[in-house]
Copies of this chain bind each other. A is one copy, B any other.
């Protein structure tokens, strides 16, 4: 019996993806060899990389629009510095929206490279909301935002229309909802939430935003190099890329982003409805900015903590503890989480109300 996996990341993946990934470790494509002991230049792995790159663009509706998709090493944290390295001009500046821990990590790295303007921050309110009505300097080299804030349970729904490239860290909600992705100059996402295992990062970018900084960029950090080498500048993270491809194939087969968004909306509605209805619980994020990926909530009466914790653990739920900066609980309900698992949690919450 599998657990109901609410882990915030690395996090739940579709069971069929896990089974195919495990099988490929033993024998890849009936080759008599493991996926992880063949050359990345072999026909079979080159086909994996090509399909992963193309399928990422297809699912985002970006094919034929001047975009490239790359599967790179380093996690989103390496993109925190690759973005300014590749986009911030030597004498220029960048604009950042501060919506949480990861946004401020990106800001910190950008400051190493040049002037970094924080256009708005909700830090003073412990990031319980997404700042609105901010102004982005028109002379900034780019604007950077974070679409979903895993720790604080908030999510952006509006993105500004700007005359400069918009860069977005979508690590925790990529492929979860329909957006006009062509509004973005560069999107990056660590795989380990909706796309695959930890160890690979998707970077989707409009090629024409590159080459304008006047900086000498080390090859391994140079996005133009990675494009020219078709995402194989060096040996790619083979297993994580392949498993991401399996997850993208799973998503396409069930109907793509349009279909998963419906399911994600239904899961989020089920859980938020219970949080708002059940007098024992309260959400931590302001209602209008609630995340559909990470649902953060508290017990109104902390003396019920032990009883609640025992109940959800007894129901085979795992990974529900909140991040230390928020406390309480965090239910991460990424793409691969079935609504049946959310119902199990809701039932535990109702049972607590009945017996408290």
Interface of A toward B, CB cutoff 8 Å = 1-3, 5, 7-13, 18-19, 21-23, 25-26, 31-34, 36-40, 73-78, 80-81, 105, 108-109, 112, 190, 192, 197-200, 216-221, 233-240, 243, 316, 318-319
Contact = CB atoms under 8 A, between A and B. Distances in A.
B220 A40 contact: no
A197 B35 CA distance: 9
B199 A238 contact: yes
A21 B18 CA distance: 12
Contact of A75 (B7, B19, B235): B235
A319 to B, nearest CB: 7
A33 to B, nearest CB: 6
B75 A112 contact: no
5 contacts: A2-B32, A75-B220, A76-B234, A109-B218, A109-B220
Given A18-B26, A235-B192, A239-B197, A220 B37 contact: no
B39 A7 contact: yes
Given A19-B26, A73-B74, A238-B10, A81 B34 contact: no
Given A22-B25, A112-B216, A220-B81, A36 B13 contact: yes
Contacts of A26: 18-19, 22
B78 A75 contact: no
Given A81-B221, A235-B192, A12 B39 contact: no
Contacts of A34: 13, 18
A236 B198 contact: yes
B77 A220 contact: yes
A23 B19 CA distance: 10
A218 B112 contact: yes
A37 B21 contact: no
Contacts of A109: 218-220
Contacts of A239: 197-199, 239-240
Given A39-B9, A218-B81, A1 B32 contact: yes
Nearest to A235: B198
A125 to B, nearest CB: 26
Contacts of A219: 77, 80-81, 105, 108-109
